[in-house]
Amino acid sequence: MGERNGMAEMPGFVVTSRANARVKQLRAATAGNTRLSGGLVAIEGETLVGEALRSGLMLKTVFVSERREVPRGLPAGVEVLRCSNEVLQSAVETQSPQGIAALVLPKVWEMADVFKVTEPLLLIAVGLQDPGNLGTLIRSAEAFGAAGVLVATGTVGAWNQKVLRASAGSVFRVPVVQVTEAEVVGLRERGVKLLAAVASGIGALPAATASFKGTCGVMIGNEGAGLGASWVAMADALVTIPCPGAVESLNAAVAGSVLLYEASRQRSAA
């Protein structure tokens, strides 16, 4: 990526008005208002900005507080706006901002993207409402070699600020595709074996016994209610994680991560 004359640019003008057009756009993007943000997504913090650059996302504007330097390595053409600490803090979500944020053009993924690999492993999130859980699962999906994450109706959006932070940048690289229940049923026509994660029950296979080989999708349900009856009914197999401790069930992100690890282990051995 080209740097401006090999050095980080140091804009001299400092924005001190919260009514600045770009600051208002950042505030709207942080709040998830795609209409006012022009379809751009807000990211905050050095880690996410660095991951966005590494992942090839198109950065439109980078906001830097007056107390820190402009990061090196920004592509030519990226707008850099230096803001007062108070103005930047007014436009971002975290209580202790790191002094850097950006507006980026989000990637738009399609179902075809998750089938670019042979025998893909898919994670299917059904009704997950905790953004931290979804972000963690997207990160685990990348760590354990899943080809993509399918998010069914009722699941929190992938570009939610807490999802972004919990994914630690994985959401920039892992295809996340919005799907309907009918589209998940249709996956079976593409040879996808559907595995439903359940706490326990008749016919549920321990994770180590179930087969995650070949093209398969692991379905994880809502944090409180789990998978609904129609989702369980469409599954080719029910999978559970045996817990010798005195707990009824695992956190959705933990359960999904454990199953993705088991899938990765089996598929690597094969």
pLDDT digit of tens for each residue in the chain (270 aa)? 333 433 344 456 899 999 999 999 999 999 999 999 999 999 999 999 999 999 999 999 999 998 888 877 888 889 999 999 999 999 998 766 689 999 999 999 999 999 999 999 999 999 999 999 999 999 999 999 999 999 998 999 999 999 999 999 999 999 999 999 999 999 999 999 999 999 877 789 999 999 999 999 999 999 888 899 999 999 999 999 988 887 777 899 999 999 999 999 999 987
Q: How many domains does the chain have?
A: 2
pLDDT of residue 72: 78
* CATH number reported for the structural domain that contains residue 188 in this entry: 3.40.1280.10
Mark whether 78 and 204 lie in a shared domain. Answer: no
Burial of residue 113, with CB atoms counted within 10 A of its CB: 0-12 exposed, 13-18 middle, 19 or more buried:
middle
Mark whether 20 and 91 lie in a shared domain. Answer: yes
* CATH number reported for the structural domain that contains residue 37 in this entry: 3.30.1330.30
pLDDT of residue 8: 40
Mark whether 100 and 200 lie in a shared domain. Answer: no
Mark whether 194 and 92 lie in a shared domain. Answer: no
Mark whether 156 and 196 lie in a shared domain. Answer: yes
Q: Which of these three, 78, 105, 132, is where a domain ends? A: 105
Pseudo-torsion of CA 230, 231, 233, 236, nearest 10°? 160
Entry pTM: 0.90
Mark whether 186 and 242 lie in a shared domain. Answer: yes
Mark whether 129 and 57 lie in a shared domain. Answer: no
Mark whether 101 and 205 lie in a shared domain. Answer: no
Mark whether 183 and 257 lie in a shared domain. Answer: yes
Mark whether 117 and 248 lie in a shared domain. Answer: yes
Mark whether 247 and 137 lie in a shared domain. Answer: yes
Q: Which of these three, 105, 132, 165, is where a domain ends? A: 105
pLDDT of residue 1: 35
Mark whether 43 and 168 lie in a shared domain. Answer: no
pLDDT of residue 152: 95
> End-to-end alpha-carbon separation of the chain, Å?
39
Domain hosting residue 234, numbered range: 111-269
Q: Which of these three, 44, 79, 105, is where a domain ends? A: 105
